[in-house]
């Protein structure tokens, strides 16, 4: 397809586009994207991949034009805008949330006001934008504690490196951080920063703390940064991705609403020396799809993921680990939970000793690798005498005698269900997008049709919801 840039448009068209973009509080490029998307949807109604994020936010039945006030039962979103270049995208985010029926209130940090003005934000939301903790008028009108509590969800976009650090440390020295500390509502952050800041050890530590505290994260994405000439991981998630993550958190009536679900996914990497490790071919696609399906069903989901090359599912708290022992610790830390689904391909063994330096190749000498057993996460959780999740589900990856092996595993591990799949090379399951599974329970075996991993995930989550309701076991 030929590429089209705004610069190539004629002057009249450019002027009209600029006016329309300004009216909607969007960049010209975003305005073009919206026009193209709307045109595509008109010519192909109902067939768009953006269906989920176009739907009204939970709490309302229909979306509304942004000029109409939100109804009484509208979900209330408090948007905190941090001081990053991506703040311009939060103006678009306001419109997208409003289109889906949300009532918006906004708080700007002092730094955010260098990028967007309270006036523009106030004009879009139809309400004053809050910015100063010590402003007597706003403290009298609403007050920071009410701002923190009078909402269903707090969204931080862009979440700067600085805001992440302050949140992780429990600071409360301005309105944004005071509200974040005081709130008892779910918090969704959309980090946005230079790739160097994103990969900094301090940011990783802060993010790990925040996810352990139950804060949900969407993005960041990889790609071109708003700063000219910069690219990498750290670009804020697109407004529609943030909307999708907000939707999954706000979905109150879902079949797993109020349930806490822990999912493991991906392989583990067991180090031999600083550069070598033992691993397996798991892609994490099935586990990530299960976490996404559970979140879409309204559950509060913690996904403990080994090293994978997949984006974090929206609305899910993701804890990233490398080894089986780290996965075990992260699972323990994520409890209590109502349901635990262990889809990760955890290495059974690790190297008994790990060399601190790279093992050198020596002519005529082959080093011996001595293995030792990793902790068995599934059986140790399934056999807990206290704090056991109501439903513990394991996965069995088998290359032969799939069902018989899964039945033996169910008995041996003491879990409630085993989802068995054939991972022999010819099945294409490892790394592929489809799966053929058998659900093995104490009452029998169900063999499901081959289907997309997303569909397997949704069917499994429906079964989980039915089991928790006592409808099916």
Ligand X SMILES: Cc1cc2nc3c(=O)[nH]c(=O)nc-3n(C[C@H](O)[C@H](O)[C@H](O)COP(=O)(O)O)c2cc1C
Residues 6+ apart with CB under 8 A from 303: 263, 264, 265, 287, 288, 291, 312, 313, 316, 317, 318, 319
Tokens linked to 296: 């879409």
CB of 109 to ligand X, least distance (A): 3
Of 396, 53, 440, the closest CA to residue 242 belongs to 53
Give the separation between CA 440 and CA 406, rounded to whole angstroms.
7
Q: What is the DSSP string of 114-162?
A: GTS-HHHHHHHHTSPPB--TT-HHHHHHT-HHHHHHSSSEEEEEEE-HH
If one asks whether residue 197 binds ligand X (CB under 6 A), the answer comes out as yes
Nearer residue to ligand X within complex by CB, 97 or 236: 236
Q: Which is nearer to ligand X, 152 or 241 (CB)?
A: 241
Assess contact for 187 and 221: CB atoms under 8 A. no
For residue 218, the 8-state DSSP code is: -
Task: With beta carbons less than 8 A apart as the criterion, state whether 438 and 445 touch.
Answer: yes
Tell me if 101 sits within 8 A of 62, measured CB to CB: yes
User: Candidates 1-9, 54-62, 65-73, 159-167 — which segment interacts with ligand X by CB under 6 A?
Assistant: 159-167
**With contact defined as beta carbons under 8 Å apart, do 106 and 133 qualify?**
no
∠ Cα 241 242 246 (to 5°): 120
Which one of residues 21, 102, 153, 163 is an interface residue with ligand X (CB under 6 A)? 163
Tell which one of 70, 94, 112, 327 touches ligand X (CB under 6 A).
112
Active-site residue, selected from the candidate residues 194, 280, 374, 435 = 280
By CB under 6 A, is residue 381 in contact with ligand X?
Answer: no
CB 186 within 8 A of CB 153: yes
131, 154, 192, 218: residue in contact with ligand X (rule CB under 6 A): 192
Q: Give the binding range for ligand X (CB under 6 A) out of 53-61, 192-200, 215-223, 456-464.
A: 192-200
**Quick check: 161 binds ligand X (CB under 6 A)?**
yes
The footprint of ligand X on this chain (CB under 6 A) covers a number of residues equal to 15
* Angle 363-367-370 from CA coordinates, rounded to 5°: 175
How many Å from the N-terminal Cα to the C-terminal Cα in the chain? 52
Nearer to ligand X, 197 or 279 (CB): 197
> Is 280 considered catalytic here?
yes
Position 167 contacts ligand X (CB under 6 A):
no
CB 92 within 8 A of CB 237: no
Q: Classify burial at 81, counting beta carbons within 10 Å of its beta carbon; exposed 0-12, middle 13-18, buried 19 or more.
A: buried
Annotate each residue in 207-226 with x if it binds ligand X (CB under 6 A) or - if it does not, as one string.
Answer: --------------------
Task: Indicate whether 200 belongs to the interface with ligand X (CB under 6 A).
Answer: no
For position 186 contacting ligand X by CB under 6 A, the verdict is no
Min dist CB 75 to ligand X, Å, is 25
Stretch that binds ligand X, among 3-11, 108-116, 330-338, 411-419 (CB under 6 A): 108-116
The angle at the Cα of 312, spanning 278 to 148, to the nearest 5 degrees, equals 135
Interface residue with ligand X among 25, 58, 59, 84 (CB under 6 A) is 84
Q: Does 82 bind ligand X (CB under 6 A)?
A: yes
Residues 131-150 close enough to bind ligand X by CB under 6 A: none
Alpha-carbon span 316 to 215, nearest angstrom: 9
Q: Of 83-91, 207-215, 307-315, 430-438, which segment contacts ligand X by CB under 6 A?
A: 83-91
Q: Interface with ligand X by CB under 6 A: which range of 63-71, 78-86, 397-405, 457-465?
A: 78-86
**Nearest to ligand X of 160, 305 (CB atom):** 160
**Any contact of residue 85 with ligand X (CB under 6 A)?**
yes
Q: Where on the chain is the footprint of ligand X (CB under 6 A)?
A: 82-86, 109, 111-112, 160-163, 192-193, 197
Active site residues: 280
């Amino acid at each position: 397809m030929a590429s089209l840039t705004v610069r190539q448009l004629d002057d009249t068209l450019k002027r009209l586009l600029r006016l329309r973009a300004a009216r909607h509080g969007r960049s010209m490029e975003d305005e073009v994207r919206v026009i193209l998307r709307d045109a595509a949807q008109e010519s192909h109604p109902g067939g768009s991949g953006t269906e989920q994020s176009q739907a009204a936010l939970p709490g309302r039945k229909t979306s509304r034009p942004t000029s109409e006030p939100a109804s009484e039962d509208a979900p209330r979103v408090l948007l905190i805008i941090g001081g990053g270049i991506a703040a311009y995208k939060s103006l678009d985010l306001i419109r997208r949330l409003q289109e889906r029926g949300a009532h918006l209130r906004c708080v700007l940090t002092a730094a955010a006001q260098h990028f967007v003005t309270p006036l523009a934000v106030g004009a879009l939301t139809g309400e004053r934008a809050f910015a100063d903790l010590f402003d007597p008028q706003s403290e009298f009108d609403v007050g920071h504690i009410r701002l923190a509590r009078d909402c269903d969800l707090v969204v931080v976009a862009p979440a700067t490196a600085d805001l992440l650090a302050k949140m992780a440390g429990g600071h409360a020295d301005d309105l944004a951080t005071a509200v974040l500390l005081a709130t008892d509502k779910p918090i969704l952050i959309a980090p946005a920063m230079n790739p160097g800041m994103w990969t900094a050890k301090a940011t990783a530590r802060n993010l790990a703390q925040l996810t352990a505290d139950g804060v949900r994260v969407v993005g960041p994405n990889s790609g071109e940064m708003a700063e000219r000439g910069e690219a990498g991981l750290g670009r804020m998630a697109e407004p529609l991705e943030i909307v999708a993550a907000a939707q999954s958190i706000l979905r109150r009536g879902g079949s797993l609403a109020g349930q806490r679900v822990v999912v493991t996914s991906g392989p583990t990497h067991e180090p031999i020396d600083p550069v070598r490790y033992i691993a397996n071919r798991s892609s994490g696609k099935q586990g990530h799809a299960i976490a996404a399906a559970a979140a879409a069903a309204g559950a509060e989901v913690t996904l403990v993921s080994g090293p994978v090359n997949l984006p974090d599912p929206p609305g899910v708290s993701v804890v990233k680990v490398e080894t089986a022992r780290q996965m075990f610790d992260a699972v323990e830390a994520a409890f209590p939970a109502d349901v635990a689904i262990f889809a990760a391909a955890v290495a059974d063994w690790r190297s008994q000793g790990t060399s601190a330096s790279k093992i050198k190749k020596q002519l005529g000498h082959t080093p011996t690798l001595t293995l030792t057993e990793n902790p068995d996460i599934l059986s140790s959780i399934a056999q807990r005498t206290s704090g056991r999740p109501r439903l513990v589900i394991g996965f069995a990856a088998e290359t032969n005698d799939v069902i018989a092996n899964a039945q033996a595993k169910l008995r041996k591990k003491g879990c409630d269900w085993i989802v068995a799949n054939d991972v022999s090379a010819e099945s294409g399951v490892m790394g592929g997008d489809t799966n053929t599974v058998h659900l093995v329970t104490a009452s029998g075996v169900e063999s499901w049709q081959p289907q997309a991993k997303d569909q397997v995930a949704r069917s499994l989550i429906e079964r989980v919801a039915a089991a928790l309701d006592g409808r099916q076991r």
